């Protein structure tokens, strides 16, 4: 079971009086919604959903800790109120937290995304949450972009490499042409982790060509990370990659992307 600790630091403190929840917000989150993990799974009356999870406070109250406590116990909540009401009740809160001004709140919801994906299912995820995961890849905070990259790997582990090939990889590869060099570097970071779970065929046919093309990027830092990506994905590639423009790198130990710096 995942438990959310109060965020420390002045900039990340819970809202005080006048912010919408008052000083009791953290205590409310822990005492009321933090008990979700102790809710019993046996069948309950159909009306239990309305009693077990308020429909308004989690999405309307300006208390990230309250909403994060519910989401952190999502598997138990789902057993009590059911997937349909769960999605209807929590989706507004999930979207709001995903775009929260405090980066630590955004980071927390990213860490829960694989849990959400598992409970809500691939169809609901693609329709409602996929765009959020892609938006995090271009967040202005590096820690968010890093966590979003790791999140993609976990999602592929949950939904499968064919899902990744059809849904995630095209969007990631499209970022290689982004005007912002930080976003182009994020493409490489995603390829590094996705290659581990997508396997040899998808990596060789679909991701490697993008990496090689980025070796000509005008930004030296991008080219340097191309070299690192080639070293990372090299063991995954099969012998068919020899038809690409740099067939001698693997044999000679000389990385052409690194030489181009």
CATH number, domain containing residue 240: 1.25.10.10
Domain that holds residue 95: 1-158
Q: What percent of the chain has pLDDT over 70?
A: 58
pLDDT (0 to 100) of residue 103: 92
Q: 213 and 116: one domain?
A: no
Q: 182 and 55: one domain?
A: no
Last residue of a domain, one of 101, 124, 158: 158
Q: 84 and 14: one domain?
A: yes
pTM: 0.68
The tens digit of pLDDT for each residue in 29-68 reads: 443 344 444 433 444 444 444 444 444 444 444 566 766 7
The rounded distance, in Å, linking the Cα atoms of 180 and 160 is 30
Q: 79 and 46: one domain?
A: yes
Between 1 and 198, the more confident residue is 198
Rounded to the nearest 10°, the torsion over CA 48, 125, 69, 81 is 10
Last residue of a domain, one of 158, 187, 215: 158
Q: What percent of the chain has pLDDT over 90?
A: 44
- Pinpoint the alpha helices (H) of the chain: 25-28, 48-52, 57-60, 64-72, 74-81, 83-98, 103-120, 122-128, 130-136, 142-159, 161-163, 169-174, 181-202, 208-213, 220-233, 249-252, 256-259
Last residue of a domain, one of 97, 132, 158: 158
Q: 111 and 22: one domain?
A: yes
Domains contained in the chain, number: 2
pLDDT (0 to 100) of residue 178: 97
pLDDT (0 to 100) of residue 33: 42
The rounded distance, in Å, linking the Cα atoms of 246 and 235 is 15
For residue 220, is it left (φ>0), alpha (ψ between -120 and 50) or beta?
A: alpha
The rounded distance, in Å, linking the Cα atoms of 189 and 128 is 25
Q: How many CB atoms lie within 10 A of CB 218?
A: 7
Q: 30 and 6: one domain?
A: yes
The rounded distance, in Å, linking the Cα atoms of 231 and 241 is 14
Q: 147 and 192: one domain?
A: no
């Amino acid at each position: 079971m995942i438990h959310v600790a109060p965020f420390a630091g002045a900039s990340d403190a819970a809202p005080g009086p006048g912010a919408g929840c008052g000083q009791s917000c953290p205590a409310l989150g822990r005492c009321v919604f933090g008990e979700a993990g102790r809710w019993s799974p046996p069948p309950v009356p159909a009306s239990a959903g309305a009693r077990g999870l308020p429909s308004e406070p989690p999405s309307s109250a300006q208390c990230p800790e309250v909403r994060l406590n519910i989401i952190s116990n999502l598997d138990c909540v789902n057993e009590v109120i059911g997937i349909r009401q769960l999605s209807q009740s929590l989706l507004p809160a999930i979207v709001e937290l995903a775009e929260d001004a405090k980066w630590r709140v955004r980071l927390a919801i990213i860490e829960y995304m694989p849990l959400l994906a598992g409970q809500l299912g691939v169809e609901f995820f693609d329709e409602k949450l996929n765009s959020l995961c892609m938006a995090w890849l271009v967040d202005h905070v590096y820690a968010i972009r890093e966590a979003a990259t790791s999140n993609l790997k976990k999602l592929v582990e949950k939904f499968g490499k064919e899902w990744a090939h059809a849904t995630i990889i095209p969007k990631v590869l499209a970022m290689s042409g982004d005007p912002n060099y930080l976003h182009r570097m994020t493409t490489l970071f995603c390829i590094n982790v996705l290659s581990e779970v997508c396997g040899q065929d998808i990596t060789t046919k679909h991701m490697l060509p993008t990496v090689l093309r980025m070796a000509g990027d005008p930004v030296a830092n991008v080219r340097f990370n191309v070299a690192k990506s080639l070293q990372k994905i090299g063991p995954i590639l099969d012998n068919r990659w020899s038809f690409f423009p740099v067939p001698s790198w693997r044999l000679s130990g000389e990385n052409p992307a690194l030489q181009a710096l």
